[in-house]
Structure 1
Amino acid sequence: MSTAGHRRLRLQIEGLVQGVGFRPFVHRLATALELAGWVENTAAGVCLELEGPEAALEAFLARLPREQPPHSRLDRLQQQWLPPQSSAGFRILTTAAHSAPGRPPAAATALQLPDLAPCAACLAELSDPASRRCGYAFTSCAHCGPRFSILRALPFERRHTALASFPLCAACASEYADPSNRRFHAQTSGCPACGPRLSWFTPGGPRLRDPARPSGPLSPCLAAAAAALRAGRIVALQSVGGFQLLCLAGSEAAVAELRRRKGRPEKPFALLAPDLAWVRRHCLLGPAEAKLLTAPAAPIVLLRRRPLEWVGPDPEAGASNPIASSVASSIATGVAPHNPWLGVMLAASPLHALLLRELGEPLLATSGNRSGEPLCADPERVEEELGAIADGILGHNRPIANPVDDGLIQLAAGAPMLLRHARGQAPSMLALTPLLPHPDRLAGVVALGGQLKGNLAIGVAGGRAWLSPHLGDLDSLAAEQRLRQVLSDALERFGLRPRCFVVDGHPAYASRRIGAELAAAAGVPLLEVQHHQAHLLACMAEHGLPPPAVGVAWDGAGHGGDGTLWGGECLRLEAPGAAAPFTRLARLRPFPLPGGERAMREPRRAALGLLYAGFGPAAFDGVTLLLPSLAAFGAEERPVLARMLQQRLHSPLCSSVGRLFDAIASLLGLAQRCSFEGQAALRLEAAARAALPAAPGRLAPAAAAYTVAICPGGHGEPWLLDWQPLLEALLHDLAVDRPVEAIALAFHQALAQLLPALAGQLGVKRLLLAGGCFQNRLLLELAVECLADAGIEALWPQRIPCNDGGLALGQLLAAGWRLEPAAGPAAGPVASPAANSDEVQ
């Protein structure tokens, strides 16, 4: 064939282009256009060279973004025209097969694709007797299957994954080499003859392993697990990114036993539903929520029960606790007690799909860990870690290289809102370049997040932020070790050495201590970022919003740096180079928390502090003793607490909206003690939703029943958001027996209507909403509605958690604003976090 008029085009592509079938797609498109050349994965993404007529090359460029694989994303495409080389045919190259001898490897910056739920074609194979993968729990193709959880190094090639020790059999190798097959160059391919296999055992018992040649559509190990579940047993299942604990969702006894063994008395569990039809029968499911459920990420989606169940006052107080009849009895009341929401997910892997098909009913599914410990992901340690909880263990021999918990998402204010950045969504990469004065200086900066909902953010080349999966609370040595390991693995994967470490200002946070230790060992700076500043910066980073910007950060509590606990803040984030990184414009009126940390777990203490701040010693008189909050204390406790408050002993001041939620929930008799974070606020939201009209419509009333006053702070102090008028009106309504549900709704509405009033006082037309309080869907939707009515734009986190799971991103952006121009690259020979490194100037 004549090559006259031919040209050669080199393309370097960055984005989500590894593990998504991108190279097979390029091969098919180039072949269809009769172009010669090659394509390969690189440390940064994908590189390809094409040769042929210029018209065919232009057609390739036009069709590439239009026809790219469904899970891919093109972030950057560099073109270089080259002289032709008279190439023939098109090939997919092994990574770096043609690199120049002696050339050092480039710094790895390729995006890492999260794990994907099985596609329709792979699910169909599971029940197809004619398929050699019928009933095979590890089937996958170029469009689905494990990705990040098995990744050990970049680029994404089989030899760099946990499947490296599973060579393909002849049949699978034939599919791998066939351009017409969906497993063409699929790195996770395999079958019963050459791929991973299941195992089953009871703690202390012998192991059963699946044979290489299955004798039927249901494997022996899967059959044993299904039989155990039917018998009311608890099973630990090795899922995509770690172990899950499962039991029948309809078995009250099994659910209660799992709660007892795990030490989790009331925190809601998630449900693993058999199909979408089951979800529709039990939950209120709109098109947008159905789309979230069936997405390749397969997250847990928070859905309202059908019908909405209002669960009444706190049963601990001896009050009635009516629960509406469920549509069906297939959900035990212990799955999500006193909660109108259900966390529901569909099968995240073929193993889940096979188990659900065999059982035909939903399963309770929760993280496989002991209370306070990180997710168990090591089959060699599962008996030690989960043997006292699980009656049987369904595992396999495909190692988990990167543990990752199940993702959690909800639909709020008309948009998806990520609550846990985990399987299916994580890790992720976010471009910060437009917001940074010196983007080249970000590589190697490590932000360590907070204490709860641990997370990491690492600066990589090109001014981008790599965001780790959810790491859990840092309340144990094992959790700290997991964080250190994830950090070490990520730095090695990207070929980075630490440039500096960024931490929260709270002196007792484990993440701060770890950051200080690593910074000292590496000889690099340690930077502190205020907690609520980080919340708002994360929101700015997600939306690409440059400073200055004004927002509210409402959460449970964060270190304020002035001897008090913050959590009801309005801040203006200043531009880099300003005298201070932020200005505190307004704050919730402080009130004491008698008992300090104990008040975080006992809403009755927050209520007592609120009453004392509002009324002084009169908070302990005969009338208030009738309130549920005061009645929750014994007669011998009340004088002690009164002295603590009067003498300000172990009663730190807080300006926290989260603690205000606790106090109001306690005053209404909804919660006096909590066994998990946010429990009182969840009950308060549930009560408020019960007062909403059945027909959808506006949430905010024409006029507020309660008011939060905005008062000048004086002497350069921030404005004071005074809850006193709200508290007095609320106590009056309690005294005249206004329904608790109506009071709870009026409280939510008052907080939402405060926001446009505050924005008006400050003269701003855009307000950021950040912090864990905005996980409350009702509060967020009321706030967005009230601000819109006033012509004020609301921006809130959607792809990054608004809770402490987003802190690391905000910390990273803050550090990026402080760093001077680069003196040299941060990439290079990898050093562990404890190794020496150049100091940031």
Structure 2
Amino acid sequence: MITNINLKIAEEIRVRGTVQGVGFRPTVYRLAKLCNLRGEVCNDGEGVLIKVVGTAEAVETFVDRLQQECPPLAKIEAIARFPLSQSPNYTDFTITQSISNKVKTSITPDAATCPQCKAEIFDPFSRWYRYPFTNCTHCGPRLSIVRAIPYDRRNTSMANFTMCADCAKEYADVTNRRFHAQPVACHFCGPKAWLERADGKPIVSDMFSMLDDVDAVCTLLQRGEIVAIKGIGGIHLACDATNETAVQKLRERKHRYHKPFALMAKNLEIIEKYCVINELERELLESAAAPIVLLKLKEHNPEIPKPIAASVAPNIKSLGFMLPYTPLHHLILRRMERPIVLTSGNLSDEPQCITNEVAKDKLSKIADYFLLHNRDIVNRVDDSVVKVVGNRLQILRRARGYAPAPIRLPSGFEQAPPILAMGSELKNTFCLLREGEAILSQHLGDLENVAALTAYRETLELYLHLFEHKPEAIALDLHPEYLSTKIGKELGINQVYSIQHHHAHIAACMAENGITLETKPILGIALDGLGYGEDGTLWGGEFLLADYRSYERLATFKPIAMLGGEQAIYQPWRNTYAHLMAGFNWEELEVKYRELEILEFLGRQPRSLLNQMLVKGINSPLASSAGRLFDGVAAALGICCDRASYEGQGAIELEALVDDIDEETGYPFEIISAPIYYLEPRTMWQALLTDLQQGVSQRVMATRFHLGLAKAIASMVNHLRETHSFTQVALTGGVFQNQVLLEQVSKQLNVMDLTVLTHSLVPANDGGLSLGQVAIAAAKSIQKGNIKCV
């Protein structure tokens, strides 16, 4: 410890974390000058490098204030200080050119427009008045435009735009908010936006009054037109959310018939007319990440001039809202006093378009107009989707605003070598591990789509290049037919870890909750659609006693045939039939319940063929899938019985029916032991069919199912606790995105004095799987002391 505070010292200070492109160097400069220090600061591949000369007291004050006054978008992961053997001959403090060396820094997520920039685009006396690409060090594009590190203009898609004298002056002025803001630009020197008709005909000024092409979009939306809008990380399709005709037209053209649309409104006041917003939801909407936030729909508000079109979110009691997050969106919505639909610019299930040419090719039969611009989108970044459960954030899709912010794994993981995890088949992300830090990609979608697979390959290549990541090991899903697994094997990395799907889900939950490497095994409950089990069957409702290195399967949901294989996902009645045939015979059902609509529907199907498939196991693999149980129950209640137009539709609409859960008793399940414990749903089906027969409402039956399943899960946990020692339970997998189920299970486990772990940093669904894969591979490699194939 330095005892003489007036002693002159010279130090090199290394700052790691999210410290580039966020105004960090200007902050260093300002604080160094205030502390009367001499020296320099620069960006390099490891983060920010500072050299200072001054009194010991001044240097200590400088380091303390640097941590306290960190810029809004920055995140300091570590500060390391080293004495300089010779005091450099500095006469002032300066910001110097970036240095290219080994990349250890991180890339900042794209950030929503800051209040200062928003004020400028609406100020007639500002030179950024109505400029749709206004930004500063506190906001604007980052990941979406970067091609390489260091994050300098030459390494972004802004390299094509030479700064004018005014922008260059502000860029070089350390006291200015735009000092070293790499995308800085203005009307004179920056990107331009323009409007086109989808039919190629010219736009003439007398078609509508407008301030400019961006302002014209508002008029078009008010008239009921569909407009494709190129934003910060992709192209969206927009229409008036209160215009039923426009919304239906968008659904038909996009071939997206039921899945809810995301909405945008110009301010919170408009959103509050339609939805209930709590304090945390308000913070999320106004945050720099500016995600889509799922909000509870108000049942009735007489102040609403026009309600949201019914087809925006059919049969759902929530709406996904976001606020404008770029100047372009703010300007479009300036005159819009009602919400708009703002959904991804693509055909259903394809990735979002990002180039002008592809958009005009693929969206010309959907959109009536295009609002395009000439700044390239380097990285496709979808809108993030979040919701609040029990006053805690739950991320459903981690993309714009969150990715690729690193996730620090618990202490001990820094011993692991560089690892690449390839993620899953659906809702894919991949993950890079370096020095205990996990870098999760943005949401990349479902790899079964050719365009999404191509985007996955391109993004993976980009990340490996950006972070100069050379993995010594690779983590793959155990399923041999997953495309992510096949691509991973093609990379030729010798050290391969094949990770069981549900173990990865549990490890992801453990990692983000800070569970250390040496923690005793916890109970993980992983509920989802499907995952490949080590016994070669399909799992999906699992109770695993697990740490990072291994697991023991203690219990499961009863395995039921997926009748027709993948068809069972999109034709929910197949799950109903398979469940009923696993617990009853058809003659018994016909005697007791022949008048039920679901029995009549199933009786019209080719039962002879279906029974042969079940008996002989033809294209009907057994699966302990919680997701398929939800589908089967939904279909029995008449919810999208014949066909689901998107994955999980039945479960989502079933949850939306739940009402007055504290007033109901749940449907019963049994716990059976043979050879491992499983939940037997036969008694549940008996009770449900009886309720159907008695004309009980869908709302009551949906409530009883959710409550009964939650109680059954808690009972299974209590049963397992009699023979196994654990104090913590991780709830994970896509089914636990069901808020009712998550809250009810958590409530009952808390009563049992168990610590409940849930997700908040990564999705509970397969979007978080790669984090768990990388944690397991790292733990195994550390255990071995070196990496070997397993």
Match of 2:562 in 1: 593
Match of 2:112 in 1: 117
The answer (yes or no) to whether the contact 1:586–1:720 under 8 Å persists in 2 is: yes
Cα distance in 2 between the residues matched to 1:759 and 1:49: 56
Corresponding letter in the other structure for 1:803: N
Cα distance in 2 between the residues matched to 1:66 and 1:285: 31
Would the alpha carbon gap of residues 653 and 624 (structure 1) be closer, same or farther in structure 2, given more than 3 Å must change?
Answer: farther
Residue 357 of structure 1: SS of its match in structure 2? coil
**Structure 2 residue 724 is matched with structure 1 residue 728:** no
Corresponding letter in the other structure for 2:693: A
Deviations 1:384-436 (A, max 9, x none): 12222111111111111111000000001220100001101111212236253
Cα offset, 1:536, TM superposition: 0.7
Cα distance in 1 between the residues matched to 2:36 and 2:277: 47
Match of 1:744 in 2: 702
Cα distance in 1 between the residues matched to 2:176 and 2:623: 61
Cα offset, 1:222, TM superposition: 1.2
Match of 2:778 in 1: 816
Cα offset, 1:375, TM superposition: 1.4
- Cα RMSD over matched residues? 2.4
Residue correspondence of structure 1 range 167-178 to structure 2 within 5 A: 167-178=162-173
The answer (yes or no) to whether the contact 1:13–1:45 under 8 Å persists in 2 is: yes
TM-score calculated relative to the size of structure 2: 0.94
Cα distance in 2 between the residues matched to 1:223 and 1:206: 19
**Structure 2 residue 417 is matched with structure 1 residue 442:** yes
Query: Equivalent pairs: percent with the same residue?
Result: 39
**Structure 2 residue 498 is matched with structure 1 residue 528:** yes
**Structure 2 residue 342 is matched with structure 1 residue 388:** no
Match of 1:331 in 2: 308
Match of 1:71 in 2: 73
2:733 aligned to which of 768, 771, 774: 771
Q: Which moved more, 1:677-686 or 1:179-188?
A: 179-188
**Structure 2 residue 378 is matched with structure 1 residue 420:** no
Residue 150 of structure 1: SS of its match in structure 2? coil
Deviations 1:72-94 (A, max 9, x none): 21111101122433422111111
Structure 1 unmatched runs, 5+: 97-104, 211-216, 309-323, 693-698, 825-837
Match of 2:330 in 1: 353
The answer (yes or no) to whether the contact 1:199–1:207 under 8 Å persists in 2 is: no
Cα distance in 2 between the residues matched to 1:405 and 1:184: 28
Cα distance in 1 between the residues matched to 2:771 and 2:240: 38
Match of 1:229 in 2: 221
TM-score calculated relative to the size of structure 1: 0.88
Match of 1:832 in 2: none
Residue 359 of structure 1: SS of its match in structure 2? coil
Cα distance in 2 between the residues matched to 1:261 and 1:528: 41
The answer (yes or no) to whether the contact 1:200–1:209 under 8 Å persists in 2 is: no
Residue 342 of structure 1: SS of its match in structure 2? strand
Match of 2:388 in 1: 411
The answer (yes or no) to whether the contact 1:756–1:787 under 8 Å persists in 2 is: yes
Would the alpha carbon gap of residues 236 and 381 (structure 1) be closer, same or farther in structure 2, given more than 3 Å must change?
Answer: same
Match of 2:10 in 1: 8
Cα distance in 1 between the residues matched to 2:155 and 2:762: 28
Cα offset, 1:757, TM superposition: 2.4
Cα offset, 1:219, TM superposition: 5.3
Match of 1:305 in 2: 297
Cα offset, 1:140, TM superposition: 0.6
1:684 aligned to which of 640, 654, 667: 654
1:274 aligned to which of 258, 266, 269: 266
Residue 334 of structure 2: SS of its match in structure 1? helix
Match of 2:248 in 1: 256
Cα distance in 2 between the residues matched to 1:291 and 1:450: 31
Residue correspondence of structure 1 range 382-531 to structure 2 within 5 A: 382-432=359-409, 434-436=411-413, 439-443=414-418, 445-460=419-434, 462-518=435-491, 522=492, 524-531=494-501
Match of 1:311 in 2: none
Q: Which moved more, 1:23-32 or 1:538-547?
A: 538-547
**Count of matched residue positions in the alignment of Structure 1 and Structure 2:** 774
Match of 1:315 in 2: none
Would the alpha carbon gap of residues 27 and 758 (structure 1) be closer, same or farther in structure 2, given more than 3 Å must change?
Answer: same
2:92 aligned to which of 86, 89, 99: 89
Cα offset, 1:566, TM superposition: 1.0
Residue 356 of structure 2: SS of its match in structure 1? coil
2:713 aligned to which of 722, 732, 755: 755
Cα distance in 2 between the residues matched to 1:209 and 1:537: 58
Cα distance in 2 between the residues matched to 1:328 and 1:671: 32
The answer (yes or no) to whether the contact 1:700–1:785 under 8 Å persists in 2 is: no
Would the alpha carbon gap of residues 516 and 700 (structure 1) be closer, same or farther in structure 2, given more than 3 Å must change?
Answer: farther
Cα distance in 2 between the residues matched to 1:823 and 1:536: 24
Structure 1 residue runs of 4+, over 4 Å off?
206-210, 324-328, 820-824, 838-841
Match of 1:37 in 2: 39
Cα offset, 1:440, TM superposition: 4.5
Residue 290 of structure 1: SS of its match in structure 2? helix
Residue 810 of structure 1: SS of its match in structure 2? helix
Residue 311 of structure 2: SS of its match in structure 1? coil
Corresponding letter in the other structure for 1:773: V
Residue 612 of structure 1: SS of its match in structure 2? helix
2:198 aligned to which of 197, 203, 209: 203
Deviations 1:705-728 (A, max 9, x none): 323222323xxx321122222222
Cα distance in 2 between the residues matched to 1:328 and 1:337: 20
**Structure 2 residue 706 is matched with structure 1 residue 711:** no
Residue 343 of structure 2: SS of its match in structure 1? strand
Would the alpha carbon gap of residues 754 and 622 (structure 1) be closer, same or farther in structure 2, given more than 3 Å must change?
Answer: closer
Residue 377 of structure 1: SS of its match in structure 2? coil
Cα distance in 1 between the residues matched to 2:783 and 2:655: 48
Residue 579 of structure 2: SS of its match in structure 1? helix
**Structure 2 residue 630 is matched with structure 1 residue 635:** no
The answer (yes or no) to whether the contact 2:596–2:693 under 8 Å persists in 1 is: no
Residue 584 of structure 2: SS of its match in structure 1? helix
Q: Which moved more, 1:749-758 or 1:421-430?
A: 749-758
Cα offset, 1:778, TM superposition: 1.0
Would the alpha carbon gap of residues 419 and 432 (structure 1) be closer, same or farther in structure 2, given more than 3 Å must change?
Answer: same
Residue 506 of structure 1: SS of its match in structure 2? coil
The answer (yes or no) to whether the contact 1:502–1:812 under 8 Å persists in 2 is: yes
Cα distance in 2 between the residues matched to 1:502 and 1:747: 37
Cα distance in 1 between the residues matched to 2:619 and 2:754: 41
Q: Which moved more, 1:506-515 or 1:165-174?
A: 506-515
Cα distance in 2 between the residues matched to 1:751 and 1:705: 7
Residue 487 of structure 2: SS of its match in structure 1? helix
Corresponding letter in the other structure for 2:487: I
1:142 aligned to which of 128, 137, 146: 137
Residue correspondence of structure 1 range 792-831 to structure 2 within 5 A: 792-819=754-781
Cα offset, 1:628, TM superposition: 3.4
Corresponding letter in the other structure for 1:687: L
Cα distance in 1 between the residues matched to 2:236 and 2:160: 25
Cα distance in 2 between the residues matched to 1:339 and 1:412: 17
